[in-house]
Amino acid sequence: MSIVTFDLAADATPVAPALVLTLIVPVFNEQAAIGAFLTAMAPILSQLTPLIRSEILFVNDGSTDGTEFAIRSYMTRDPSIRLVNLSRNFGKEAALCAGLEHASGDAVIPIDVDLQDPPDVIPAMIAKWQQGARIVNARRIDRSSDTWAKRTSAAAFYRVFNALSDHPMPSNVGDFRLLDRQVVDVLRSMGERTRLNKALFAWVGFQTDEVTFERSARCSGKSSMNVWRLWGMALDGIIGSTTKPLRIWTYVGTVLGLLSLLYATYIFVSTLLLGVDVPGYASLVLLVLTFGGLNLFAVGILGEYIGRILTEVRERPMFVVRSVHGADD
């Protein structure tokens, strides 16, 4: 009796390794939001397997509450959670860069822990990525949950930025978007230390698509972004993306110089022909204050650029990592 054997290994169809999706979640004093965020993410991420394996990378930006311990308590039950602790609070832009530096996924999605970035649009973003888009923006079509001041200032910022920048960025699109690994590698190679990440996301190019969503209210707590932080980010974005403010002031100075020359000619000619008038102190004070204010404004613009040049030439790191936990550290 003969024995028939089958070579199962030869007949088996090779299985492609699962793609990895990394969610980057910067957190600062968000202890109360960790549980709600992970609960909301669980059913969304479970739909992606086995085609896509997901991991959640928290970046603890120097929290002073129990945020780190809350995250580590969930890590004992879920090995897909990773944690990067920064040595102090460096700001959201630096925390996001730390996340990009430590993300290992084929695609990366920065997302806020407060659930204002809805997890249920993630499958649509992944679908567009699989169709060939290297960047998938999530654009907000309803910001009624934000205050009137925030909506108005955000709209003004986008108008001013896109009017000045050499590479405009889409309006009402924050950090919440999908980035392909190729895009992430380009962003990691960029050496700017003073940056607005969403401006860089627009600068790198690549094939881009978008999904839309309605922005909801925070699930817990309150935002740590105050007016001064938002103002600083806006200045960093504009000054880091264009030199048009300097060029515009060159044109303004040229026009004022020509007008001054014309006025001096008028004074000289009128003095020769009509004699010397009684001096007008009001007009003199007005001119001195006007041109003095314009000069200070111009010096202020120069100072903003010079200050950022100083930051760049120091070559200090954008962030300092205190510890890393998860995925075999």
Q: What is the pLDDT of residues 11-27, one digit of tens each?
A: 445 445 678 889 999 99
168-212 pLDDT per residue, tens: 777 778 888 899 998 999 888 887 777 778 878 888 888 888 888
Whether residues 42 and 188 fall in one domain: yes
In this structure, are 221 and 295 located in the same domain?
no
Q: Do 108 and 94 share a structural domain?
A: yes
Q: Domain for residue 239, yes or no? A: no
The parent domain of residue 302 ranges over 244-314
Residues 183 and 63 in one domain: yes
Domain count, the chain: 2
Strand partners, 52: 19
At a CB cut-off of 8 Å and minimum separation 6, what does 140 contact? 172, 173, 174, 212, 213, 214, 215
In a domain, 5, yes or no: no
The per-residue pLDDT for range 110-163, each reduced to its tens digit, is 988 888 888 888 888 888 888 888 988 888 887 666 666 676 777 777 777 777
Residue 146 shares a structural domain with residue 291: no
Question: Which amino acid appears at position 177 of this protein?
Answer: R
Say whether both 172 and 117 belong to one domain: yes
Condensed to tens digits (0 to 9), the pLDDT of residues 305-320 reads 777 777 777 777 888 8
Same domain, 70 and 183: yes
Per-residue confidence (pLDDT) for residue 308, from 0 to 100: 73
Q: How far apart are CA 171 and CA 192, in angstroms?
A: 23
Residue 57 forms part of a structural domain: yes
CATH of the domain at 40: 3.90.550.10
Of 36, 71, 28, 105, nearest to 324 by C-alpha is: 71
Are 48 and 127 part of one and the same domain? yes
> With contact defined as beta carbons under 8 Å apart, do 301 and 246 qualify?
yes
